[in-house]
Amino acid sequence: MPRVSLFAYDWSDLILPPHAFAHTLMPSFPRHRLALAATLLGLVAAPTLSPALDLSGLSKDVQPCDDFYAFVNGNWEAATELPASRARIGSFEQLRQANDELLNRALKELADKPELQTTPGLKLIASYYASGMDELAIEARGLTSVAPLLNRIDTLQRREDLPALLALLARGGVAAPLGYAVQPDRKDTRRNLLVLGQAGLGLPDRDDYFRSDERTRGLSAAYRTFVKALLSASARPAGDADVDAVLAFETQLAEVSRERAKLRDPNASYNPFTPAELNAAAPGMDWPAYLAVLTAGAKLPQRLLVGQPEFAVRVAKLAAETPLEVWRSYLALRVLDTTAPRLPKAYANAAFEYRGKAITGLQAPAPRSEDVIQQIGGRTGGEPVALALGELFVARAFSPEAQRRSLALVEDVRASMKERIEKLEWMTPPTKARAQEKLARMQPMIGAPEKWPQFEGLQLSGTDYAGNWLKVALWHSAQQMKDLDALVERGRWRTSPHIVNAFAGGLNQIIFPAGILQPPFFDAKADDAVNYGGIGMFIGHEITHHFDDSGRNFDAGGSLTDWWTPADAAGYKARADKVAERYGAISPLPGYNINGRLTLGENISDISGLPIAFEGLQRALKRSGGADKKVEGYTPAQRFFLSNALVWRTKVRMEFLINQLRTDSHSPAKYRVLTPMSNTPYFGQAFSCKPGSAMVASDPLTVW
Ligand SMILES: [Zn+2]
């Protein structure tokens, strides 16, 4: 599904922008799976050949107290070349590729041997994968698989049919111009609610429609070429005037689209309406007619949320006034853009030229299997059948030992956070008590779900890639509408276990998929310092998300509730403002600063997550008595920071970096090392840095 950027808080993740949603605990798996895991991933093999902490690249020219990122990663960065097919490489990317390669082998086997397709999920992904790899079948089908959508667009003649068409497209996974989701009501998390939000733009950011710098002009030109390619390949009017009209239409949407930083405010996007109220507030479109098709026969919701009402007002105005000819071009473009990677080469190649080359700087596409796996599962594992990939992955690469030890790490880090809250000087006891309650009730979800979804009613073809995608979207839409009438299922996983990422979920949950519980982030054979500097810091980061500038608005049950005294809220805001200002002054590239407001939640989570994990390590060392034990010549404290700098090592293309700075809520990796480390006294102590060193902030940022 295309990402809909209205779900401001419901997910915060470690390395990529939020997407889906989840929750639950501890599965138990048969023993043979563990054995398989050991052989395939080396999870149980002794790491004699590849040390847990690879210190071979430490720089002799840079001092740890001057630039710790360069000290640890400088040599690696200098010696590492980005392959043509990668926009970013580093620890996360390396493990993702390994997980994808494992999945690719397993999928091939699964597709070749029907007798291995023993569950509904495995059956589905065997067909889905086979259809994605069958490029001849994709060429042969042309656009026939998406014709049900395109024909409806091409035959749109009456304005009153437009609301139903927009709703049909939304159900088919094409968010144009509005996206939808069914998710727990933030103010009553027992119930599900329909949410509508802004979407439907082809440039990466709403600001790209108004900026005039050189980079934006280049992007605009590439986008025009892309639009032309898609329209002309599908035999639609594709002259300059036609492209101008579509871009002017998108610009009108962009005008009222909220900036990304503003989308992070969970209160600002909580706008309840009845269908009748929406009709009155956003005149020009028959909203009940739209909702009737969107909910497809389910009971019409009496109440829904509109993330950005000003956007809905504009959509309704355009529905009433814009020539249908422009609507037809715009909607066809959105269908083709959304489905291009699953269509014949004329479309898929155009999409690569724009989304791969122009936006992220790629020179060549990644192996097709990786793209197919991503199309099935999504970048953050939130696509509707992604969990079936997780089912396959976990059967081959799951370590109950990693799961058990990660849970122990969570409890150490949670205990440290508890102590920090107790000691906070600026917070009063009533607010502290609420914070402690929230921390105590936070639910860790580690590894994989206990049960796998059964995907009732969904069947896929082995030769119809785009058709499968459409079927999945329609099926998912129907499932979501069933959820509308049901109570929220708190234990449901909404991200797949094969993903290399971690999440803070909207129901006061933290999620660590099996995919990330592997070296270099977690290594069962490594000393505690290495694991607390890796996965331990991620745990601190995700816990802190529930207390970042957005997360702090939610209570122990995950409901949007103000549990702060006004004075404590003001105290928090002053500290958060300082974080935003400090990061906002950083220029990773000349002319491009970090957006301090967009990245605020991530930065607060980094700044607090690191020392909390460090304190968690002290608990583990106290138990084991290893506080003074040097390993490979380094103290545990030093190894903690070395491990952390290693897991963040990343090399990116310039285009990727610019796009990240403009659109992503995460700061570039280098600053996720330098800023949190220089703002915690533990770092300076570990490496005996003198006051005034670059790695010792003179006025340290602290929030928690
Ligand atoms: Zn995060």
Could you identify the residue written with the tokens 């439907």?
200
What is the Å distance from ligand 1's center to 144 Cα? 41
What is the Å distance from ligand 1's center to 612 Cα? 15
Residue 376's alpha-carbon distances to 373, 395, 496, in angstroms, are 5, 18, 11
Torsion of CA 605, 382, 10, 303, to 10 degrees: 170
What is the Å distance from ligand 1's center to 13 Cα? 4
What is the Å distance from ligand 1's center to 370 Cα? 24
Of residues 423, 429, 398, 431, the one with CA closest to residue 518: 398
What is the Å distance from ligand 1's center to 81 Cα? 27
- CA–CA distance, 409 with 420 (Å, rounded to integer): 17
What is the Å distance from ligand 1's center to 46 Cα? 32
Question: According to the model, what pLDDT value does residue 300 have?
Answer: 87
| Cβ atoms 696, 68 nearer than 8 A | no
CB atoms within 10 A of CB 30: 9
Give 3-state DSSP helix, strand, coil % of the chain, rounded to 5. 55, 10, 40
Task: Please report how the helices 214-233 and 324-339 are oriented relative to each other, as an axis angle in degrees rounded to 10.
Answer: 100
What is the Å distance from ligand 1's center to 574 Cα? 21
CB atoms within 10 A of CB 28: 7
Tokens of 513: 């998929």
What is the Å distance from ligand 1's center to 496 Cα? 17
- CA–CA distance, 595 with 599 (Å, rounded to integer): 6
Of residues 526, 531, 529, 636, the one with CA closest to residue 47: 526
Tokens of 529: 């310092």
What is the Å distance from ligand 1's center to 613 Cα? 15
Question: According to the model, what pLDDT value does residue 569 have?
Answer: 98
What is the Å distance from ligand 1's center to 130 Cα? 34
What is the Å distance from ligand 1's center to 640 Cα? 20
What is the Å distance from ligand 1's center to 97 Cα? 21
What is the Å distance from ligand 1's center to 542 Cα? 6
Tokens of 133: 């790899």
What is the Å distance from ligand 1's center to 513 Cα? 14
What is the Å distance from ligand 1's center to 421 Cα? 20
Confidence band for 26, pLDDT divided at 50, 70 and 90: very low
Residue 585 has, within 13 A of its CA and on its CB side, a CA count of: 6
Tokens of 265: 């405010």
Tell me: the pLDDT tens digits for 361-411? 999 999 999 999 999 999 999 999 999 999 999 999 888 888 899 999 999
Q: What is the DSSP letter of 184?
A: E
What is the Å distance from ligand 1's center to 661 Cα? 15
- CA–CA distance, 98 with 25 (Å, rounded to integer): 25
Q: Assess whether pLDDT exceeds 60 at residue 44.
A: no
What is the Å distance from ligand 1's center to 435 Cα? 19
Tell me: the pLDDT tens digits for 310-354? 999 999 999 999 999 999 999 999 999 999 999 999 999 999 999
What is the Å distance from ligand 1's center to 605 Cα? 6
Q: Assess whether pLDDT exceeds 60 at residue 141.
A: yes
What is the Å distance from ligand 1's center to 400 Cα? 25
What is the Å distance from ligand 1's center to 541 Cα? 6
What is the Å distance from ligand 1's center to 602 Cα? 5
| Cβ atoms 663, 205 nearer than 8 A | yes
Of residues 203, 198, 217, 214, the one with CA closest to residue 263: 198
Q: How many residues does the chain have?
A: 704
Question: According to the model, what pLDDT value does residue 41 have?
Answer: 38
Tell me: the pLDDT tens digits for 521-566? 999 889 999 999 999 999 999 999 999 999 999 999 999 999 999 9
Terminal CA-CA length for the chain = 36
Tell me: the pLDDT tens digits for 624-678? 998 889 999 999 999 999 999 999 999 999 999 999 999 999 999 999 999 999 9
Question: According to the model, what pLDDT value does residue 350 have?
Answer: 98
What is the Å distance from ligand 1's center to 108 Cα? 33
Give the DSSP H/E element, type plus range, for residue 327.
helix 324-339
What is the Å distance from ligand 1's center to 604 Cα? 9
Whether residue 520 is preceded by a cis peptide bond, meaning omega within 30 degrees of 0, is yes
Question: According to the model, what pLDDT value does residue 16 have?
Answer: 55
What is the Å distance from ligand 1's center to 160 Cα? 43
What is the Å distance from ligand 1's center to 503 Cα? 7
The pLDDT mean for the chain works out to 92
| Cβ atoms 503, 495 nearer than 8 A | yes
Q: Which residues contact 14 (CB under 8 A, 6 or more apart)?
A: 501, 502, 503, 538, 541, 542, 666
Question: According to the model, what pLDDT value does residue 27 have?
Answer: 28
| Cβ atoms 488, 163 nearer than 8 A | no
Question: According to the model, what pLDDT value does residue 10 have?
Answer: 54
Q: Assess whether pLDDT exceeds 70 at residue 591.
A: yes
Whether residue 120 is preceded by a cis peptide bond, meaning omega within 30 degrees of 0, is no
Q: Assess whether pLDDT exceeds 90 at residue 243.
A: yes
| Cβ atoms 193, 485 nearer than 8 A | no
Q: Which residues contact 157 (CB under 8 A, 6 or more apart)?
A: 324
What is the Å distance from ligand 1's center to 20 Cα? 14
What is the Å distance from ligand 1's center to 581 Cα? 19
What is the Å distance from ligand 1's center to 608 Cα? 12
What is the Å distance from ligand 1's center to 547 Cα? 11
SS3 assignment for 188-225? EEEEEEEEEEECCCCCCCHHHHCCCCHHHHHHHHHHHH
What is the Å distance from ligand 1's center to 523 Cα? 22
Q: What is the DSSP letter of 564?
A: S
What is the Å distance from ligand 1's center to 590 Cα? 25
What is the Å distance from ligand 1's center to 363 Cα? 29
What is the Å distance from ligand 1's center to 223 Cα? 30
**Domains along the sequence of the chain with CATH:** 56-81+398-448+496-686 (3.40.390.10), 159-366 (1.10.1380.10)
Give the DSSP H/E element, type plus range, for residue 13.
strand 11-13
Tell me: the pLDDT tens digits for 250-271? 999 999 999 999 999 999 999 9
Handedness of CA 574, 578, 579, 580 (dihedral sign): positive
What is the Å distance from ligand 1's center to 349 Cα? 32
What is the Å distance from ligand 1's center to 459 Cα? 35
What is the Å distance from ligand 1's center to 12 Cα? 5
Predicted structure pTM score: 0.94
What is the Å distance from ligand 1's center to 9 Cα? 11
What is the Å distance from ligand 1's center to 499 Cα? 15
- Least confident piece of the model among 38-47, 57-66, 188-197, 477-486: 38-47
What is the Å distance from ligand 1's center to 16 Cα? 8
Confidence band for 33, pLDDT divided at 50, 70 and 90: very low
